[in-house]
Amino acid sequence: MHNIATSGRTGVVGFLVGNGAVGVGCLDFLNLGAPGSYTVFNVCARDNEKNKKIVADIAPRMKFPLKAVEDHSALRTSGFLITAASGDVPVVATADVPDDCHILSQGRNDLPPDLIKKRIEDPKCLIVGDNFKAMEERDVDPLAKYHSAKGEKLAEVAKKNPNKYLE
């Protein structure tokens, strides 16, 4: 994940939406694989006080700085976004996500369809999934839901577009 997340870049500002086990697990993984890539990782969640406590608890073990933030303003300058929220609605606005920001979606239906469409239409964008068929069958992943709403099967679209979809 860290190679795709940073593409060898350093000085990356990260942004995590959600501070549960999945989000913290992503931070732990990045901490092991590419800690020198990040200048700061901003963490935002619905409950600001709980978020501050969780960030304070996990920050000592991280090799990059963590910062609890109360809104998405720092996302506008981020190079890597992780969505790991447990809600069933988009957790970011398309306008807040920079065009060159890499995205790791770990939540349910957490990305707005217009952001997915924008990325699919971007010729420079590579879409990576662990198992497109499983994503399609669970029907909670925002990418699978996007294609389903268009009457398409994610796994079939990915198979037809190997230069765009990487599994």
Pinpoint the residues of the chain covered by CATH 3.40.50.720: 2-115
Distances in Å between the Cα of 31 and the Cα atoms of 38, 44, 76, 77, 82 are 9, 18, 23, 21, 14
In angstroms, rounded to a whole number, what is the distance separating the alpha carbons of residues 79 and 76? 9
Q: For residue range 74-109, list pLDDT tens digits in order.
A: 999 999 999 998 877 889 999 999 999 989 888 778
| E strands, the chain, in order | 12-17, 38-44, 66-69, 80-83, 102-105, 127-128, 165-166
Check residue 96 and give its pLDDT: 97
CATH number (3.50.50.60, 3.40.718.10, 3.40.50.720, 1.10.1050.10) of 2-115 reads 3.40.50.720
Which pTM value belongs to this model?
A: 0.88
Residue 41 falls in which region: left (phi positive, over 0), alpha (psi -120 to 50) or beta: beta
- What is the mean pLDDT of the segment spanning 55-65? 96
Q: For residue range 119-163, list pLDDT tens digits in order.
A: 989 988 888 888 899 988 887 788 888 899 999 999 999 999 998
